[in-house]
């Protein structure tokens, strides 16, 4: 396993991060613990979760993923992992989390963090992230930009000040963003520098062969400011495994169970996936591993967040970090991308 620094923090994390959003929904407690044990055995030391999980979110399951991880942590496993979690932002569709008004204020951050610490059965979280912005903007694949003012949005320097209080208390070690825009990234960086507040160490945004928009505005910032991308959905909800090609609908697959997940299930995506599958077949590669190896190879990616519902899937995904794609494969991938760029932003 390869390990890299998380931003400027000095925290060393594995190039593969184990995602957990299926635990408590598609995966049971025992399956979650098996995945954790197996991942640690393979050298993965980075685990990502969120107070909102499992996903799709529900008032009856919210927080269950952290509880499942907490049960595993309590077995004496805390020192084996770098643990990341997230505080939910404001969302009318999450009425059960602080009445859907989860602003990034000192009060809300303190309450959310303490609740996560209890569920995770730990005294500290290594990386605490803002799950999405506390202002109206585009995220989760929203297209078109219609500017809105929000008088209730928490000023960024106030959020950073609240997070500094938790850093000083030893409850978190580093902070990060998620689903954030280039403008938002720079505002957090500038506010930290101007007010002498903690800098963000990472950003967790989608990045995969069907969605490479991170390259356009974010990537330069991550390089110049030493901020790590934690790439989520590197498999595009499993679409890049090829298992949905030609209309296939595998039993218990995520897009079959949750039909409203349409972000990566479009005609344009299917065309691109067919092209990528042809490349993988020509070079005798697993399509899933080729897709993950591409993400792993990008210089602005600190860690790829993989999710799996079985140990077989997990093993195949972890193995991707050992694959170095030939230049000829990279050229072919770029050819498909230029013909059908970012079909699922």
Q: What is the pLDDT of residues 126-145, one digit of tens each?
A: 999 999 999 999 999 999 99
User: Is residue 294 flagged as an active site residue?
Assistant: no
The CATH number of the domain where 316 resides is what? Answer: 3.20.20.100
Question: For position 288, what pLDDT does the model report?
Answer: 96
- Residue whose token pair is 């506390």: 134
Conformation bin of residue 252: beta by default, left when phi > 0, alpha when psi is -120 to 50: left
The active-site residue out of 3, 38, 53, 276 is 53
Question: For position 129, what pLDDT does the model report?
Answer: 98
The backbone torsions φ and ψ at residue 328, rounded to the nearest 5 degrees and listed phi first, read -65, -40
Distance CA 277, CA 295 (A): 16
Quickly state the pLDDT bin for 256 (edges 50, 70, 90).
low
- pTM for the model: 0.95
Task: Please state, in angstroms and as integers, the Cα–Cα distance from residue 182 to each residue in 66, 142, 163, 188, 224, following that order.
Answer: 29, 15, 21, 10, 13
Strand partners for 178:
204
Q: Stretch 105-134: mean pLDDT, rounded?
A: 98
Within a domain: residue 345?
no
Within a domain: residue 100?
yes
Q: Indicate the number of domains in the chain.
A: 1
Distance CA 228, CA 118 (A): 27
Beta-carbon contacts of 111 under 8 Å, excluding residues fewer than 6 positions away, are 98
Within a domain: residue 344?
no
Tens-place pLDDT, residues 201-255: 999 999 999 999 999 999 999 999 999 999 999 999 999 998 878 766 766 666 6
Residue 212 belongs to domain spanning? 3-339
Contact 175, 201 (CB under 8 A): yes
């Amino acid at each position: 396993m390869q390990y890299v620094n998380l931003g400027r923090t000095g925290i060393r994390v594995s190039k593969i991060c184990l995602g957990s959003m299926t635990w408590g929904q598609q995966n049971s407690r025992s399956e979650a613990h098996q995945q954790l044990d197996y991942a640690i055995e393979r050298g993965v030391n980075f685990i990502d979760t969120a107070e909102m999980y499992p996903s799709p979110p529900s008032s009856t399951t919210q927080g269950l993923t952290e509880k499942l991880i907490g049960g595993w942590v309590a077995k004496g496993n805390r020192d084996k992992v770098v643990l990341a979690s997230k505080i939910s932002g404001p969302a009318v569709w999450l009425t059960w989390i602080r009445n859907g008004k989860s602003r990034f204020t000192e009060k809300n951050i303190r309450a959310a963090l303490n609740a996560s610490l209890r569920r995770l059965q730990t005294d500290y979280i290594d990386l605490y992230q803002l799950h999405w912005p506390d202002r109206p903007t585009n995220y989760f694949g929203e297209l078109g930009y219609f500017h809105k003012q929000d008088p209730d949005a928490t000023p960024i320097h106030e959020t950073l000040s609240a997070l500094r209080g938790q850093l000083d208390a030893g409850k978190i070690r580093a902070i990060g963003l998620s689903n954030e825009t280039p403008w938002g990234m720079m505002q957090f960086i500038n506010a930290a520098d101007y007010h002498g507040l903690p800098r963000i160490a990472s950003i967790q945004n989608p990045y995969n062969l069907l969605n490479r928009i991170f390259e356009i505005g974010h990537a330069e910032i991550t390089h110049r400011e030493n901020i790590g991308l934690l790439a989520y959905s590197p498999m595009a909800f499993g679409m890049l495994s090829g298992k949905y090609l030609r209309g296939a609908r595998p039993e218990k697959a995520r897009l079959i169970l949750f039909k409203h997940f349409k972000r990566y299930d479009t005609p344009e995506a299917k065309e691109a996936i067919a092209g990528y599958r042809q490349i993988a077949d020509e070079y005798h590669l697993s399509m899933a591993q080729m897709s993950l190896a591409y993400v792993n190879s990008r210089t602005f990616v600190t860690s790829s967040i993989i999710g799996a519902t079985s140990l077989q899937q997990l093993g195949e995904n972890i193995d991707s970090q050992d694959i170095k794609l030939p230049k000829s494969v990279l050229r072919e991938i770029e050819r498909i991308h230029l013909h059908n760029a970012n079909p699922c932003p």
